[in-house]
Amino acid sequence: MSGKAAIVGGGVIGGGWAARFLLNGWDVAVFDPDPQAERKLGEVLENARRSLPGLGDVALPSEGQLRFCASLAEAVDGADWVQESVPERLELKHRVLAELAGHVRADTVIGSSTSGFKPSELQEGQALAGQIVVAHPFNPVYLLPLVEIVGSPANDPAFIEDACARLTALGMKPLHIRAEIDAHIADRLLEAVWREALWLVRDGIATTEEIDDAIRFGFGLRWAQMGLFETYRIAGGEAGMRHFISQFGPCLQWPWTKLMDVPELTDDLIERIAGQSDAQSGTHSIRELERIRDGNLVGMMRALALNDWGAGALQNAHDAARAQAAGLVDHVGALSDPSLPVLTLTRAVPLDWIDYNGHMTEARYLDAFAQATDRLMRMVGCDDSYIAEGGSFFTVETHIRHLDEVRAGAPITVHTRVLEGAGKKMHLWHEMQSDGRLLATGEHMLLHVDLATRRASPPAPQVAGALERLAAAHAALPLPEGAGRGVGAPR
């Protein structure tokens, strides 16, 4: 799913929205009267291009077209989605939303990034009230998947459902909030922690760094994967949540927090917080902190993907949809032309695949070829269910030639040929490319194995038949240069 997005306000959040749409193949038009808007958004895009392509295991679509417009009407013309990200002043948002009338289609979603206003407040007096929804994201928008979707009785439920579907296609997690409430859900939780943190600094209990350490070395790691209630369910032990509440519920009556009070933000308190924050993080620029943050987020979400959990499970589902769109198939019968080398991998080089030389480390070439082998195995029927029944292929020999270097964020593809597929053998030839450059070749010999005995055995007839058909189709291709070559032999 792609289209045109109009971004109204190109600051940190608007720029993040622009990156999320643009890198997922949408054309993006931006309107922001700030003379520095193009530079600021360009810096956000630079970070997004560095990190987002490597988050998943399937290549992003071709990047859309970006343009900056001189007027709001020009930016929103023909837009499928308009995202308003102007400052949090209701009168300003009303003025911008009113100006959209007569310039957008009846099916255009008008999302507001507001973190506090309710949709009914935004819709008040608006001719396009039924098209206006809260679409509140989290920074960085191009990486963090959550977006709170809030509508009002003015919005048709089908319109809300369509808006959520469009966001899901962008790899996001739309959380439809059923009832209007100030600050929605997530910011209300954040505000409670923020308020308590201000008291701890004001009363001299902790510094800004100590408070951040309490979160990032402790419960923050648990929250990142399981949230609040599932974390506490585990804390209740075998007896579960009921035991946890009965054990820790009474402490809610104790004066542990000051959530009903707000410390006065005096000049002294503001200076104390700012000074501690400078001491904590001042050695890094904001751009450096953003890159560090993005690298950490990608690493955490990729780790979650290994267990198909939380944000990682969401990314896996998004990868599966992108894989289908990119032409990757899971069975031989779906190939449009089985006589050609098979596309078995399309992705970008993630940040954690880069070594001290600034390019993809040698182990990751093997990783990429292993992923390509896994897909070829699935295509011939050696899938999860087949392996669960006791059959699989084991690699017995590998030869990789490293022909060119590739850096983080670069797109790579692997095309695979079956050089031999008879009896117990599966002899594969992989070629990895990036933008037409041959980066590496991988030659792999695998044997079919009975997992019960751990010994070589003939594959099941359906697997053997699919593999033989693919090998026969590839037999007409010329032998690839380098096939069978020994290590160190002249090219």
Q: What is the CATH number of the domain that holds 264?
A: 1.10.1040.10
Distance CA 437, CA 428 (A): 20
pLDDT, residue 379, reads 96
Comparing 324 with 461, the larger pLDDT belongs to 461
288 assigned to some structural domain: no
Q: Render pLDDT for 239-256 as a digit per residue (tens, 0 to 9).
A: 888 877 777 777 766 777
For 177-181, 280-284, 431-435, which range has the lowest pLDDT when averaged over its residues?
280-284
450 SS3 class: strand
Q: Identify the pLDDT of residue 98.
A: 97
Cβ–Cβ contacts within 10 Å for residue 124, how many?
Answer: 15
Lowest pLDDT segment from 14-18, 120-124, 249-253, 383-387? 249-253
Of 117, 151, 184, the last residue of a domain is 184
**Which positions ≥6 away from 165 have C-beta within 8 Å?**
1
Confidence at residue 282, expressed as pLDDT on a 0 to 100 scale: 79
Judge if 254 and 343 occupy the same domain. no
What is the rounded CA–CA span in Å between residue 58 and residue 299? Answer: 16
Tell me whether residue 465 is annotated as binding.
no
DSSP string, 128-163: TGGGEEEEEE-SSTTT--EEEEE--TTS-HHHHHHH
Task: Please state which of the ranges 38-42, 114-118, 289-293, 376-380 shows the lowest mean pLDDT.
Answer: 289-293
pLDDT on residue 488: 76
> Is residue 11 annotated as involved in ligand binding?
yes
* Per-residue confidence (pLDDT) for residue 109, from 0 to 100: 98
In a domain, 318, yes or no: no
Q: How many other CB atoms are found less than 10 A from the CB of residue 189?
A: 13
Listed range (29-43, 96-110, 289-303) with the worst mean pLDDT: 289-303
| pLDDT category of residue 217 using cuts at 50, 70 and 90 | confident
pLDDT of residue 436: 94
Ranges of beta strands (E only) in 369-482 are 391-402, 411-420, 425-434, 437-450, 455-456
* Tokens, residue 155: 């919005």
Kindly tell me if the per-residue pLDDT of 95 is higher than 70.
Answer: yes
- As a whole number of angstroms, the distance between CA 85 and CA 202 comes to 32
pLDDT of 475 reads 96
What does the pLDDT read at residue 107?
A: 96
The verdict on 86 and 141 lying in the same domain is yes
Is 25 in the same domain as 171?
yes
Q: Do 343 and 268 belong to one domain?
A: no
What length is written for the chain?
491
Pairwise CA distance, residues 133 & 280, whole Å: 38
From first CA to last CA, the distance across the chain in angstroms is 44
How many Cα atoms occupy the beta-carbon half-sphere of 3 within 13 Å? Answer: 18
Tell me: the pLDDT tens digits for 462-490? 999 999 999 999 999 999 999 988 887 77
Residue 202 pLDDT level (bands cut at 50, 70, 90): very high
Highest mean pLDDT (candidates 168-172, 252-256, 257-261, 293-297): 168-172
> pLDDT at position 252, please?
67
Q: Are 100 and 25 in contact (CB under 8 A)?
A: no
CA distance 329 to 346: 12
Q: Are residues 169 and 267 in the same domain?
A: no
Give the CATH number, domain containing residue 378: 3.10.129.10
* Alpha-carbon separation of residue 304 from 16, 156, 297, 364, 366 (angstroms): 23, 35, 11, 19, 22
Looking at per-residue pLDDT, the higher value among 226 and 337 belongs to 337
Whether residue 56 is annotated as binding a ligand: the answer is: no
Distance CA 79, CA 5 (A): 5
pLDDT, residue 338, reads 94
| One domain, residues 71 and 220 | no
Can you tell me the mean pLDDT for 79-83? 98
Instruction: For residue 151, say whether it is annotated as part of any ligand binding site.
Output: no
Which residues have a Cβ under 8 Å from the Cβ of 361 and sit 6 or more positions away? 353, 354, 355
Q: What is the mean pLDDT of the chain?
A: 93
> What letter represents residue 172's amino acid?
M
Least confident of 93-102, 176-185, 252-261, 402-411: 252-261
**Domain-located, residue 8:** yes
180 and 193, same domain (yes or no): no
- Domain final residue, candidates 250, 265, 283: 283
Report which of 486, 448, 484 is spatially closest to residue 467, judged by C-alpha positions. 448
For 347, the 3-state DSSP assignment is strand
- Residue 117 inside a domain? The answer is yes
Would you say residue 136 lies in a domain? yes
Q: How far is 104 from 447, CA to CA, in rounded Å?
A: 60
Report the CATH number that the domain containing residue 12 is assigned in CATH. Answer: 3.40.50.720
From 345, 163, 194, 181, select the one nearest 259 (Cα to Cα).
Answer: 194
Question: Same structural domain for residues 38 and 180?
Answer: yes
pLDDT at 96 over 70: yes
Encode pLDDT of 305-362 as tens digits.
999 998 999 999 999 999 988 889 989 999 999 999 999 999 999 988 999 999 999 9
CA–CA gap between residue 366 and residue 439 (Å, rounded): 12
- What's the CA gap between 147 and 258, in Å, rounded? 29
Do 173 and 223 fall into the same domain?
Answer: no
Provide the pLDDT for residue 195.
92
The verdict on 23 and 141 lying in the same domain is yes
DSSP 3-state helix, strand, coil percentages of the chain (rounded to 5)?
45, 20, 35
pLDDT band, very low/low/confident/very high, at 229 (cuts 50, 70, 90): confident
Residue 12 assigned as binding residue: yes
Domain boundary, last residue among 153, 184, 215? 184
Average pLDDT of the residues in 414-427: 97
Consult the annotation and say whether 16 binds a ligand. Answer: no
Could you tell me the pLDDT band of residue 24, with boundaries at 50, 70 and 90? very high
Give pLDDT, residue 74.
97
Provide the pLDDT confidence category of residue 410 given band limits of 50, 70 and 90: very high
pTM metric for this prediction: 0.84
Count of structural domains, the chain: 3
**Residues 224-239, mean pLDDT to the nearest whole number:** 84
Beta-carbon neighbour count of residue 216 at 10 Å? 12
Which has the closest alpha carbon to 348: 405, 430, 407, 304? 407
Q: What pLDDT is recorded for position 259?
A: 76
**4-18, 184-198, 221-235, 385-399: which range is least confident on average?**
221-235
Identify the three-state secondary structure at position 29.
strand
* 24 and 172 housed in the same domain: yes
3-class DSSP state of 299? helix
Residue closest to 5 by CA, chosen among 67, 49, 52, 59? 67
Residues 6+ apart with CB under 8 A from 285: none
Mean pLDDT to the nearest integer, 409-417: 96
Return the pLDDT at 286.
Answer: 83
Residue 303 in domain: no
Position 281 scores a pLDDT of 85
434 part of a folded domain: yes
34 is a domain residue? yes
**Residue 176 exposure: Cα atoms within 13 Å on the Cβ side:** 15
In degrees to the nearest 10, what's the CA dihedral of 358, 361, 365, 370? Answer: -130
8 A C-beta contact, residue 120 and residue 147: no
Domain containing 194 equals 187-283
Q: Are strands 391-402 and 342-348 parallel, antiparallel or unpaired?
A: unpaired
Burial class of 416 by CB neighbour count within 10 A (0 to 12, 13 to 18, 19+): buried
* pLDDT at position 303 over 70: yes
**Do both 263 and 342 map to the same domain?**
no
Whether the per-residue pLDDT at 278 is higher than 90: the answer is: no
Percent residues over pLDDT 70 in the chain: 99
pLDDT of residue 269: 86
pLDDT (0 to 100) of residue 491: 66
